[in-house]
């Protein structure tokens, strides 16, 4: 079906061939895997800080245990990306599952023995964090290999919705119930969930290892992406991945924009509890409503993203996230009304999912298979690494200039991403990402 009105979403909407048979179940398996692992992750993120609070009265040490879960993104993301491009990706998911089972099993043993100190909890958090880096990077590289191109938008929407529902809602809720029944029960249930997720991977079909180094349609990154022989050393492969990302104007711009957006989210999540308590005098229940608005918006985004893409086009739908993040940061700068801040959080959550689904789809359809692990590692290093940076920066700004000015500064930063987005993320550059092989297209434009 031809592209009409410059909307990139039309190519995917067309009567493109869809693969049936055994590979058609891969999406269902990946969604189930995502639900189970994110449910366990949500429980873990509740249990570890509670155990840390029982082990020490120091807020800094309690925070350090939580930081251990995310620190591996800054430490090993690039090296994991190389591993993903070298090794069978399903086996890496099993490796991540094994690390999780060892970490949770170890924590269960020391908790049962009454020896759960900060050091042990921190080490457990680091192992779980490394496992998360391996699992998410491997999954990102696995989707374009085992899910047919025409089905990837639906698969990404389902996976993103599953992440939101399990990690932000069900996981913490179930974790709280299990903790009330006993820490051992909470950790034991988490161990069983990770084991079940690993067993689900047996149902995947297809190949899981990179078999070639073919090029990519559209802009080619620097660094020899069309060569036949991969660089011999890990550092050389890391450098090749970074050169590819930096040399691809569309992906580079999207990654830098996402870095600003992630920093804004980290800032909002870091400062909003203080505002809710000291300025707005919210109860715990009221603050829970505000946080829930984020998740509700995210779930709605996962449900609507396909329809919005077809109605408005992918470019406009992704632009909505930039505007939504700006609104989410700007509203606390002008009002402390609970309904307004909750509404802005809802809009932010909605926009975040719209961006996430489409950005994943663009990367899966543009990045060469042999580069997907390193691209994901580099992009997530910048994006996820910006979360603690944003959290720290807004704290400094609030201390020096006040809370309202701090939120306003991040609203301006989010707004500043709009001009480069409109200039670089054009219909012509997006067209190859949404072109379905075998479907005739006209007016799609060429990549720059």
Predicted confidence pLDDT, tens digits, the chain (448 residues) = 333 333 444 433 333 334 455 556 888 999 999 999 999 998 888 888 888 888 887 766 777 787 788 888 888 999 999 999 988 999 999 999 999 999 999 999 998 888 888 889 989 999 999 999 999 999 988 888 888 888 888 888 989 888 888 887 788 778 878 888 888 899 999 999 999 999 999 999 887 877 655 333 334 443 444 444 555 688 899 999 999 999 999 999 999 999 999 999 988 888 888 788 778 887 767 777 787 888 889 999 999 999 999 999 999 999 999 999 999 999 999 988 889 999 999 999 999 999 999 999 999 999 998 899 999 999 999 988 888 888 888 888 988 998 899 999 999 999 999 999 999 999 999 999 887 555 444 333 333 3
C-alpha distance from residue 40 to each of 186, 356, 369 (Å): 10, 22, 29
C-alpha distance from residue 77 to each of 65, 71, 254 (Å): 19, 10, 18
Quickly tell me which residue has 């297209």 as its tokens.
Answer: 441
Quickly tell me which residue has 């920093």 as its tokens.
Answer: 263
- Report DSSP state, residue 219: S
CA nearest to 313, candidates 434, 190, 420: 434
Distance CA 259, CA 355 (A): 13
Distance of alpha carbon 163 from the chain centroid = 9
- Report residue 379 as tokens: 């992009």
Sign of CA pseudo-dihedral 153, 154, 157, 160: negative
Quickly tell me which residue has 């580099």 as its tokens.
Answer: 378
Distance CA 3, CA 445 (A): 10
Contact of 267 with 375, CB cutoff 8 Å: no
**Per-residue pLDDT at 14:** 33
Please spell the DSSP secondary structure of 17-58, one letter per residue. Answer: ----SGGGGHHHHHHHHHHHHHHHHHHHHHHHHHHHHHH-S-
Polymer length in residues for the chain: 448
- Report DSSP state, residue 337: -
Distance CA 295, CA 353 (A): 10
Distance CA 104, CA 136 (A): 19
**Per-residue pLDDT at 214:** 39
**Per-residue pLDDT at 218:** 38
Quickly tell me which residue has 């085992």 as its tokens.
Answer: 146
């Amino acid at each position: 079906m031809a592209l009409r009105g410059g909307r990139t979403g039309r190519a995917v909407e067309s009567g493109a061939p869809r693969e049936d048979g055994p590979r058609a179940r891969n999406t269902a398996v990946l969604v189930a895997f995502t639900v189970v692992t994110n449910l366990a992750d949500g429980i873990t993120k509740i249990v570890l800080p509670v155990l840390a609070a029982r082990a020490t009265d120091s807020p800094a040490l309690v925070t350090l245990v939580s930081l251990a879960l995310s620190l591996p993104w800054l430490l090993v993301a690039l090296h994991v990306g190389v591993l993903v491009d070298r090794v069978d990706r399903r086996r890496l998911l099993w490796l991540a599952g094994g690390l999780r089972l060892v970490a949770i099993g170890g924590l269960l043993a020391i908790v049962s023995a009454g020896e759960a100190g900060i050091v042990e909890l921190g080490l457990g958090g680091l192992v779980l964090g490394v496992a998360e880096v391996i699992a998410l990077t491997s999954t990102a590289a696995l989707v374009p290999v085992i899910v047919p191109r025409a089905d990837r938008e639906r698969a990404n929407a389902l996976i993103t919705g599953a992440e939101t529902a399990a990690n932000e809602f069900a996981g913490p809720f179930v974790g709280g119930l299990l903790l009330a029944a006993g820490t051992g029960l909470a950790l034991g249930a988490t161990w069983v969930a990770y084991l079940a997720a690993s067993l689900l991977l047996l149902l995947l079909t297809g190949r899981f290892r990179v078999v070639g180094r073919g090029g990519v349609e559209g802009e080619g990154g620097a660094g020899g992406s069309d060569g036949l022989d991969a660089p011999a050393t890990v550092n050389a492969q890391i450098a090749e991945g970074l050169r590819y990302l930096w040399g691809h104007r569309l992906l580079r711009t999207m990654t830098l924009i996402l870095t600003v957006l992630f920093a804004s989210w980290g800032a909002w999540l870091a400062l909003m509890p203080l505002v809710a308590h000291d300025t707005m005098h919210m109860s715990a229940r009221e603050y829970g409503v505000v946080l829930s608005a984020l998740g509700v918006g995210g779930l709605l985004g996962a449900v609507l993203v396909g329809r919005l893409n077809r109605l408005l086009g992918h470019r406009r739908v992704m632009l909505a996230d930039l505007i939504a993040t700006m609104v989410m940061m700007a509203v606390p700068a002008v009002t402390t009304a609970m309904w307004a801040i909750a509404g802005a959080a809802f809009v932010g959550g909605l926009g975040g999912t719209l961006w996430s689904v489409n950005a994943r789809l663009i990367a899966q359809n543009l990045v060469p298979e042999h580069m997907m692990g390193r691209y994901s590692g580099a992009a997530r290093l910048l994006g996820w690494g910006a979360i603690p940076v944003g959290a720290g920066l807004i704290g400094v700004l609030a201390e020096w200039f006040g809370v309202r000015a701090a939120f306003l500064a991040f609203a301006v930063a989010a707004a500043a991403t709009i001009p480069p987005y409109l200039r670089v993320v054009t219909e012509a550059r997006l067209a190859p990402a949404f072109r379905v092989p075998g479907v005739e297209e006209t007016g799609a434009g060429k990549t720059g």
